[in-house]
């Protein structure tokens, strides 16, 4: 089995999260896929952002606050 570290991005409300996960490669037709732990990590970050639990999400990922360009012009 081979692993490749990638960054998955999650966008919820006015936040973006960068989550580091491993893609797992092997010789079956399901390849590549995420481990259960990495899939759970993505779900936990998404749910924390949906509940505005920014500190919890920040413990698992890099979190960014998004500002629309239109707001910068005012």
Average predicted confidence (pLDDT) for the chain: 93
pLDDT of residue 44: 98
What's the pLDDT at 5?
Answer: 97
Q: What is the mean pLDDT of residues 38-64?
A: 98
Residue 18 counted as domain residue: yes
Give the number of domains in the chain.
1
Q: Is residue 72 part of a domain?
A: no
Look at residue 1 in the predicted model and tell me its pLDDT. 86
Give the residue numbers spanning the domain of 49: 2-67
- Position 73 in a domain: no
3-state SS string for the chain:
CEEEEEEEEEEECCEEEEEEEEEEECCCCCCCEECHHHHHHHHHHHHHHHCCCHHHHHHHCEEEECCCHHHHCC
Q: 74 in a domain, yes or no?
A: no
pLDDT at 28: 85
The pLDDT score that the predictor gives to residue 74 is: 61
């Amino acid at each position: 089995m081979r692993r490749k570290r990638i960054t998955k991005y999650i966008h919820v409300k006015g936040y973006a999260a960068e989550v580091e996960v491993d893609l797992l490669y092997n010789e079956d037709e399901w390849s590549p896929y995420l481990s259960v732990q990495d899939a759970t990590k993505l779900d936990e970050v998404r749910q924390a952002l949906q509940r505005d639990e920014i500190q919890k999400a920040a413990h698992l990922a890099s979190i960014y606050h998004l500002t629309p360009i239109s707001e910068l012009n005012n």
